[in-house]
Structure 1
Amino acid sequence: MNTSNSELYLRYFGQHKNSYTSSIPYGNNAQAGQYKNVGDAKIYYEIYGSGAPVVVLHGGLVGSIAEMGEFIDNLSPNYQVIAISTRGHGKSEIGSKTPSYKQKSEDVNSVLEQIKEPVIILGFSDGAYTAYQFALDYPNKIKKIIAIGASTCEKGFHQFDNSFDEFSKLDSHYWQQQIAIRPEPERIQEWYQQATHYFNQLEIKEDYLKNIKAPTLILAGEKDQNAPLDTIISAYKAIPNAQLAIVANAPHPVFQINFPAVWSNIKNFLEE
Structure 2
Amino acid sequence: MISRLFMMLALLHLVSNVQAQQPLRRAFQQEDVVIKTPYGNNPSTGHYVQSNDAKIYYEVYDGATRGNKQSIFILHGGILGSTIEMADFIDSLKQNFQVIAISTRGHGKSEIGSLPITYEKKANDVMTVINAIAPDKAIILGFSDGAYTAYKVASMYPERIKKMIAIGAGEQIPGLRKVVFNPKELLALDPLYWTQQKALMPQPQRLEEFWAGMETFYNTMTASKELFASIKCPVLIMAGELDRNAPLPTVINAYNMIPNAQLSIIPNTGHVCFLENFPATWTSIVPFLKN
TM-score, scaled relative to structure 2: 0.86
Other-structure match for 2:55 = 42
2:241 touches 2:248 (CA, 8 Å); kept in 1? yes
- Equivalent position SS for 2:237: strand
Partner of 2:35: 22
Give the TM-score normalised by the residue count of structure 1.
0.92
Contact map agreement 2:168 2:271 (CA 8 A) in 1 = yes
Partner of 2:197: 178
Q: Do 1:119 and 1:143's aligned partners in 2 also have CA atoms closer than 8 Å? A: yes
In 1, are the aligned partners of 2:181 and 2:215 still within 8 Å (CA)?
no
1:68 equivalent among 82, 86, 110 = 86
Residues of 1 paired with 2:47 and 2:88: CA distance?
21
Give deviations 1:114-145, integer Å, cap 9, x for gaps: 32101000000000000000001100000001
Question: What is the DSSP-based 3-state SS (H/G/I as helix, E as strand, rest coil) of the residue aligned with 1:208?
Answer: helix
**Counterpart-to-counterpart distance in 1, 2:49 and 2:181:** 33
User: What is aligned with 1:116?
Assistant: 135
SS at match of 1:263: helix
Q: In 2 relative to 1, CA 107–19 (structure 1 residues): closer, same or farther, beyond 3 Å?
A: farther
3-state DSSP class of the match of 1:120? strand
Change (3 A) 1:184 1:42: same
What is the DSSP-based 3-state SS (H/G/I as helix, E as strand, rest coil) of the residue aligned with 1:213? coil
Tell me, yes or no, if structure 1 residue 92 matches structure 2 residue 110: yes
Mark the runs of 5 or more structure 2 residues left unpaired by the alignment.
1-24, 64-68
Q: 1: distance between equivalents of 2:145 and 2:278?
A: 19
Amino acid at match of 2:50: N
The runs of at least 4 aligned residues of structure 1 exceeding 4 Å deviation read 16-20
Match among 119, 123, 144 for residue 163 of structure 2:
144
Larger CA deviation: 196-205 vs 209-218: 196-205
Distance 1:17 1:24 in 2: 16
Number of aligned pairs?
261
Change (3 A) 1:123 1:218: same
Equivalent runs, 1:1-272 vs 2, <5 Å: 13=26, 15=28, 17=30, 20-50=33-63, 51-114=69-132, 115-272=134-291
CA distance in 1 between partners of 2:268 and 2:31 (Å): 15
Q: Deviations over 1:205-233 (max 9, x none)?
A: 12321111100000100000111011110
Give CA-to-partner distance per residue, 1:50-90, whole Å, 9 cap, x none.
Answer: 42000000000111110001100000010000100010000
Q: Give the 3 Å change call, closer, same or farther, for CA 229–18 of structure 1 in structure 2.
A: farther
* Amino acid corresponding to residue 168 of structure 1 in structure 2: L
Give secondary structure in 2 for the equivalent of 1:84: strand
Distance in 2 between residues matched to 1:269 and 1:247, nearest whole Å: 15
Structure 1 gap segments, 5+ residues each: 1-11
RMSD: 1.5
Structure 1 letter corresponding to 2:159: N
Q: For residues 126 and 275 of structure 2, what CA distance do their matches in structure 1 show? A: 25
**Percent of residue pairs identical:** 47
Q: 158-167 or 133-142: which moved more?
A: 158-167
Secondary structure at 2:124's aligned position in 1? helix
Please give the secondary structure, in 2, of the residue aligned with 1:78. coil
Contact in 2 for aligned 1:20/1:70 (Cα 8 Å) = no
Q: Which structure has the greater CA radius of gyration?
A: 2
Distance 1:85 1:249, change over 3 A: same
Worse-superposed segment, 236-245 or 156-165: 156-165
Tell me which amino acid in the other structure corresponds to 1:250: T
Q: 1:16 & 1:40 partners in 2: Cα distance?
A: 32
1:161 to partner: Cα distance: 2.9
